[in-house]
């Protein structure tokens, strides 16, 4: 049991380490924006250094302590995912599901490190942030260039903003995205064991009740 726990949490740790190494390399070796852009596969896959001040796709809570609230929420989510992974390991859940949850946990922590520390380490907190702590911006670098342009004003939250069809992302984002895709694609296989266990519960309860009835006075 202990080895199983260590194995899956080690997957999370490897995601965090890989994510942070790439972010450090990008920060210290690339210029931000199009000036430092590096073409990998033609014009459609590039390295493009930018920072994300808020949530996914550049969205944010637009008030003084919005970023702090978001970071605290991420901490709570990280703890919840960690406990969920541990509980799944104890239940003997599908290996594929355990790997996916470990990837999600690693990705969540990877971006959380940026939010907590990068405002201090890299001085990249927004100029109007009340404190550099917990206000760091997430470093993104992988860019699939499908479409860029201004979104219509009627779109909630992002309307009127200039953005790419596929957002710039990092290893932590990719880890979460891939894991979620696999969970959706293989959910019947991943959650089959839990469904089987639930379907057995009424049968077991009926059997136990019948055994109790047999031992009641007058039923022997």
Please give the positions annotated as active site.
140, 173
Q: Within 30-163, where are the H helices?
A: 66-91, 95-121
Q: How far apart are CA 14 and CA 105, in angstroms?
A: 11
Q: How far apart are CA 20 and CA 178, in angstroms?
A: 18
Q: Which residues have CB under 8 Å from 194's CB, separation 6+?
A: 91, 93
Positive or negative, the CA dihedral 41, 43, 45, 46 is: positive
Whether 104 and 81 have beta carbons less than 8 Å apart is answered as yes
Structure tokens at 220: 């022997």
Q: Which residues have CB under 8 Å from 157's CB, separation 6+?
A: 59
For 169: left if phi > 0, alpha if psi spans -120 to 50, otherwise beta; the answer is: beta
Q: Is 172 helix (H, G, I), strand (E, B) or coil?
A: helix
């Amino acid at each position: 049991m202990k080895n199983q726990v260590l194995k899956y949490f080690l997957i999370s740790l490897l995601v965090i380490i890989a994510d942070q190494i790439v972010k450090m390399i990008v920060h210290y070796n690339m210029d931000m924006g199009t000036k430092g852009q590096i073409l990998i596969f033609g014009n459609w896959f590039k390295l493009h250094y930018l920072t994300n001040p808020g949530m996914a796709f550049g969205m944010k809570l637009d008030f003084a302590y919005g970023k702090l609230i978001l970071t605290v929420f991420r901490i709570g989510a990280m703890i919840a995912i960690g406990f969920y992974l541990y509980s799944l390991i104890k239940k003997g859940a599908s290996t594929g599901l355990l790997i996916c949850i470990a990837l999600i946990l690693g990705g969540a922590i990877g971006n959380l490190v940026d939010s907590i520390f990068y405002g201090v380490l890299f001085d990249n907190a927004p100029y109007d942030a009340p404190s550099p702590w917990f206000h760091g911006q997430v470093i993104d670098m992988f860019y699939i260039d499908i479409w860029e342009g201004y979104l219509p004003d009627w779109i909630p939250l992002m309307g009127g903003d200039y953005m790419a069809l596929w957002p710039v992302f990092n290893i932590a984002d990719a880890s979460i995205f891939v894991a979620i895709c696999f969970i959706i694609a293989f959910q019947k296989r991943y959650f089959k064991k839990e469904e089987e266990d639930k379907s057995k519960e009424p049968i077991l309860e009926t059997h136990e009740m019948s055994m109790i009835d047999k031992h009641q006075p007058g039923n022997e």
